[in-house]
Amino acid sequence: MSGVEIAGLVLGAFPVALTALEKYRTVARSLGFWWEIRLEYQKCSSEISYHRVIFSRNLKQLLLPLVADKDQIQRLVADLGGAGWKDPELARQLEDRLQDSYEIYFHIMQQMNEAMNELNKELGGEKTGFQEKVSRLQVSKSWGKRQNTQHVPKTPKVKTSVKANLEYEAYRIKFSVGEPNRKRLFDELQTCNERLEKLLGTSDVMAVLESENVSQQASAAISTMSTTMGRFWRHADRLYSLLSGAWKCNCWGEHCVRMLLQHKTGAEAEFRLLFMFAASRNFSTPTPWSSQDAHIKLLDAILPASESVPIVMTSVTSSPASTPNHRTALPLRPSLGAQRKTSQSQSSTCVSNAEKPTITLTSNLLPQASRNPPPQFTDDDASISKIENLCLSLSNSKPTTPLRGFLEDEDKRCYMSFVPQKVSSPTHREATLDQLLSPQAQPPLSRRQRYSSALILASSFLQLRDSSWLKGCWSKSEICFLRDCDDSNTILLDRPYITRNFSSPASAIHVQNSNSSSFAALGVVLLELCFGTLIENHPARLQYPSGDEQTKSGFDQLAAFEWLKTVGEEAGPDYAGAVDWCLLGSKKVPDGDAWRRELYQHVVQPLDLCHKYLHGNG
C-alpha cells in the first residue's frame, strides 16, 4: 500500500464514523433517549469533525505540491477509494517530496488508520448487523405508533417494543461506557495530526532551503563558469600577440593559423592550433613547411622549475624542406599595433573538392596521435629554448629532431613541442559550414551533429568574442572542418576551425560589430543548425532581396524572427530559448561584460542540455 492510498483510506473513514454516529442520534430521538446521550453525542461528533478538517488540511498541504491541477484534489476527495489514490506516479512523487521523512509519515498514517478503524468499530459503523438493527429499531418504533393509531391488538406492540428497547438499551449502555475508549482514540488522532502537521511543515521548510541552496549553487556555478569562459578571450588575445610577433620572415604575410573551436569547461588556457604556411596551397615550388597541428598551453612567464607543462604540437602535413627567405632586419614588417590601425581584412577561403564521391560525416574523437600522453617539460629542461623565429623553427623541424621551445612576453609563456606525423595530400580540401548546410551536401548532417556544432559555436563565441580571433561574429564560410588524413571522404565534424592570418591585423578582420548584431548573427547560425538548412533558402528570407552585407544582415534577422516561431516544436524549449535570447533577449543586456554571464546562462547551458539529451546523458 502506498503513502497516498493509505491517506485516502484515513480520509474515507471519517464519513463512515459520522454516519454511524448519526444513526445513534436518529434512534435515540425516536425512542426518547436523546437527552441522555445528547452531550456525549455532540462532543463525539465535534471531535470527529474537527480531526476530519485538520487531516483534510494536512492532506492538501501534502498533495498540492504534487498535483498541478487543483481540481484533481477535489476529484480525489470526491472519489474516496477510487483509482486516483492508487496512481503509482503520484505515490512516487510523494516519496520524492518527503524523502527521508517518508517512513515516519507512513507510520503516522498507519496509526491514524488503525485509530479510525477502531473508532468505527466502537461506533458500529463497520458492522452491517449493527446498521440493520438500528434500522429495525426505527421500524419497530414506527410500527408501534401505527398500532396506537389504528387501535390494533396491543400484544404484538408490547412484544416488539420490549425487544426493541432491550436492544437499544444495550447500544445506549455501550455508547456511554465507550466514552473513555473514544477519548483515547481522539487523543491518538490529535497526536497524529499534530505530528503530521509538524512533519509536513519541516519538510516544506527543508525543501525551500534545499531549493534555495541548489539555486545558489547553480547561480554560483553559472557565475564561476561564465567568468572562467569570459576571461578566456584575454588568453586568446595574448596568444595571438605572441604568434604575431614570432613570424620574423619575409613570408610572414602568407602564414595563417586555424584555431580549433571547443566547448571548454576548465579554466586552463589551452589551445589547439593548426599552423599553415599559407591558406592557399597552390605553389609552383615546394614550401619550407606545410602545416603543423599544435596543442599549446599558456602559462605565467615565471614558472617554477618543478612544475611540469604537458604540451604537444603534432605535424599533420609536411613537404620537402627548403630554406625560407628570412629577413635579417625586422622593420620591413609593421608592428602589431600599427597593423591593427591600418591594414584591411584578408580572410581565407575554404574550398571543397570540385568532384566529391560519397562523403562520410563523422564525429570521432581526436586522432589517435593526439590522444597519446603529452610529454612533460620543466624550465630547467635543456632541450627547451625560446623560439626566436617561428617560421625558421618550423622549417627546421624534422622527425629525428623535433622542435621543443616556447614563445614569451613579459607576462606569459607559450610552450610548444613539434612531432612530425602523417602526410596528407594538398588536394584534400576542408569543408565549410555553409557547404555542409547547403542542399547539395550529401548525406545531410544528423540532428546530433548539428546540435553538437551549435554548442561548440555558441561556447566558442563566448570564449573568443572581443579577442583578435573574433571581433564581431564569424560567417559560415569561415568555419571549416578538416578531412581525415587516411580518408579524404571523411569529414571530422567535431573539429570546427576558425582561420586567421597575419598579413593584416585581426582587428580589421571584422568591423567591431555591436553586441546586438553579433548576437543576432549567432542566433541565425543556431537556427540554421537547428533545421539543417541555410537561412537563404527559407521561404521568409526569399521574400527579401540580397543587398550589401549590412542590408543582407538586416533581412536575415527579419526572416529569423519568423523562423523562430517554429523552433520550439522542432527542437524543444531549451534550444528555442537559446535562439530567442540571441535574437530578442540580448537586446535587454546592459553594456559591459554582463552579456557573458547572460549568454552562458541563456544560450550555452541550454544548448549543452540539448547536446546531453541527444547523447543519452541528459
Q: What is the pLDDT of residues 240-265, one digit of tens each?
A: 888 888 888 888 888 888 899 988 87
**Peptide bond preceding 443: is omega within 30 degrees of 0, i.e. cis?**
yes
How far is the C-alpha of 502 from the C-alpha of 510, rounded, in Å? 14
Greatest pairwise CA separation for the chain in angstroms: 144
How far is the C-alpha of 208 from the C-alpha of 510, rounded, in Å? 49
The dihedral over CA atoms of 31, 33, 35, 36, expressed in degrees to the nearest 10, equals -170
Q: What is the pLDDT of residue 215?
A: 61
Q: Give the DSSP H/E element, type plus range, for residue 420.
A: strand 412-420
Instruction: Tell whether the torsion through CA atoms of 140, 144, 149 and 153 is positive or negative.
Output: positive
Angstrom CA distances, 499 to 259, 260, 274, 482, 509, stand at: 7, 9, 9, 12, 11
Mean pLDDT of all residues belonging to the chain: 74
- Mean local confidence (pLDDT), 575-581: 95
Res. 470: pLDDT tops 50 = yes
State the pTM of this model: 0.60
CB–CB of 148/161 below 8 Å? no
Tell me the three state secondary structure of residue 360: strand
- Strand 490-501 versus strand 360-362 pairing type: parallel
Q: Which of 166-180, 239-253, 444-458 has the lowest mean pLDDT?
A: 166-180
Q: Which of 104-118, 438-452, 472-486, 541-555 has the lowest mean pLDDT?
A: 472-486
DSSP string, 281-330: ---SS--S--EEEEEEEEEESS--TT-----EEEEEE----------S-S
Q: What is the pLDDT of residue 375?
A: 45
Gyration radius (Cα) of the chain, Å: 41
Q: What is the pLDDT of residue 144?
A: 46
Q: What is the pLDDT of residue 282?
A: 61
Q: Can you name the residues that pair with 406 across neighbouring β-strands?
A: 386, 415
Nearest to 130 by CA among 285, 250, 18, 23: 23
Quick one: angle between helices 3-31 and 88-98, nearest 10? Answer: 100
CB–CB of 289/277 below 8 Å? yes
Region of 32 (left: φ > 0; alpha: ψ -120 to 50; beta: rest) is left
How far is the C-alpha of 205 from the C-alpha of 497, rounded, in Å? 50
Nearest to 58 by CA among 178, 165, 180, 197: 197
Q: What is the pLDDT of residues 4-61, one digit of tens each?
A: 888 888 888 888 888 888 877 777 777 666 777 778 888 888 888 999 999 988 888 8
Residue 48, classified by CB atoms within 10 Å of its CB into exposed (0-12), middle (13-18) or buried (19+), is buried
CB–CB of 522/455 below 8 Å? no
Range list of β-strands (E), 479-602: 479-483, 490-501
N residues, the chain: 618
DSSP designation for 334:
P
- Mean local confidence (pLDDT), 509-519: 67
- Strand 412-420 versus strand 312-317 pairing type: parallel
Q: 110 is written with which cell numbers? A: 498507519
Q: What is the pLDDT of residue 370?
A: 40
Q: 399 is written with which cell numbers? A: 622527425
Res. 227: pLDDT tops 50 = yes
The residue behind cell 557565475 is 223
Q: What is the pLDDT of residues 391-431, one digit of tens each?
A: 888 888 776 665 667 888 877 777 776 655 554 454 457 88
Residue 176, classified by CB atoms within 10 Å of its CB into exposed (0-12), middle (13-18) or buried (19+), is exposed
- Mean local confidence (pLDDT), 566-572: 92
Q: What is the pLDDT of residues 300-350, one digit of tens each?
A: 654 444 343 443 444 444 444 444 554 443 333 433 343 433 333 333 333
CB–CB of 502/271 below 8 Å? no
* Dihedral pair phi/psi, residue 111, rounded to 5°: -60, -45
